[in-house]
Amino acid sequence: MAVELKWCVVTGGRGFAARHLVEMLIRHNMYSVRIADLGPTIQLEPPEKNGILGEALRSGRAEYISTDLRNKSQVLEACEGAEVVFHMAAPNSSINSYQLHHSVNVEGTKNVIDACIEQKVKRLIYTSSPSVVFDGVHGIFNGDESLPYPPKHNDHYSATKAEGEALVLKSNGSNGLLTCCIRPSSIFGPGDKLLVPSLAAAARAGKSKFIIGDGNNLYDFTYVQNVAHAHLCAERALASEGAIAEKASGEAYFITNMEPIKFWEFVSLILEGLGYERPRIKIPASVMMPIAHMVEWTYKLLGPYGMKVPQLTPSRIRLLSLSRTFDSSKAKDRLGYTPIISLQEGLQKTIESYPDLRAENALKTKREGPSKASIHLGGGKVADTLLWKDKKQTVTTLLVLVAIYYNFIASGCTILTALSKLLLFSFIFLFIHGILPEKILGYTVEKMPTSWFHLSEDMSHQVVQSVASLWNYSVNILKSIAKGNDWLLFLKVVISLLILSFFGAFSFQNLYITGFTFAFIAFYLYEKKEEDIDAILLRTRSYGCKLKSDLVGKFVPSKRIH
């Protein structure tokens, strides 16, 4: 007869490391596993459906329960009848929201502890983080568990994880509950949706060439199966009787692969394994910090209007440039933990698990038809010139513009003098061109047709209509402003005039250089990076629309319905 297994609970059971723990628990036939997570139902990926997890769910050896840790009644239901709880749930650490992290990492952890005590759960293993002892300023070399919590943490995630950890350790012994905390350092492995995909995305975008700092900072990375194994070691130690359980409980443990490596060497090995070049250009952290502070300030300003959480922040620059290594001797001594997968083997397994992210599999989309830049420029000679499609024509135009600059602008001519000189040179050129024979030394001289200088009647009407339309449009704006009830139009006009006055402060010489330089570079770049620039413009437009609606709501009184 099959032995009925006792239940364990894995909170955040659909997270990266938690999935590996769930499968390891099922494979070891230790417990029936209750997976608790936020989703209303469990959505299995194809490999999971046909694998050990899908089979366990179908047979009843595993079950899913929708649980929000902030809802105590749901947590109580999840912990009912369980012998051990692996508390692994936590929000995304890149979202630096105090309210979010405190509600889950602190209040949610309180609910888990209370539920364990009320439901008479015997053991609670809390997944913490080495960041609980990191202040974001000073590196850590071979740090052990004697390190105190810093006065100020690097971010809200670290600060609230430290609070949650302290609560778990303090609850050890309450109503027979034994607890401990696991601090896995920099988890990597198959199924990771953050580290490897972000590295591959950066490489494909050409942004992986840079090393932040001197590149010598050491890190302790931990393969994800070693993290799952550490949780089982902790559970077995707490389940032991007598001195072993007493020695293991009420403590925190650093978990690593016990193979420190230079951070940027680790990154390079992953990139090279996927077929990309390793980063080589070193940028001092002191150079990047002011930029990161500016990005962070921009996010604080535009975050409420939908701006995505930026990757370039001061805390991330520190994480990329400082050393963070930890001593796992305590876990080895008290929990019996040693890595079951080496760093080299873990890297190989990780790289092999991302065939779709390899360089040779990168999607190479070919644009069909003309680019947007070409369409905006009319698709004629102007487009060919500014987009460098006809290089001979582009170089010729640049030489003409340089000649105009040195003869008419750099010489300090007034507008009237420059115009007269330009007309003089034009008339001389046209006269000489007109008297030239049709062939010179065997080369045909193309004559300019008179139609080039002819303004048709239709074109004349269009020009006059455009001028009249512009005049009427301006008059209508003045009429609307004079009524004093269109705040939005008033703001638009004021901002437009301020921008005009800003450009008016520049000399004609500077505007000439800036304008043509921008035209020959901007359109070319837009054609090459059309999708990226369109995405940025779309986000900017959405921020603008949100800001506009806020301003309208603030300054324009709402219309009352009579």
Give the residue numbers marked as catalytic: 161
Phi then psi dihedrals of residue 220, to 5 deg: -110, 110
DSSP codes joined into one string, 63-98:
EEEE--TT-HHHHHHHHTTEEEEEE-----TTS--H
Residues with Cβ within 8 Å of 285's Cβ and at least 6 positions away in sequence, in order, are 212, 213, 317, 318, 320, 321
d(CA 83, CA 246): 18
Of the candidates 93, 90, 124, the residue with the CA atom closest to the CA atom of residue 107: 90
Q: What are phi and psi of 439, to 5 degrees?
A: -135, 135
Cα torsion angle, 515, 521, 523, 526, sign: negative
Q: What would the two tokens of residue 303 be?
A: 């975050």
**Among the residues of 205-308, which ranges form H helices?**
224-239, 243-248, 263-273, 285-302
Cα separation, 539 vs 324, whole angstroms: 36
Identity at 141, one-letter amino acid code: F
Contact 124, 309 (CB under 8 A): no
Residue 450 amino acid letter: T
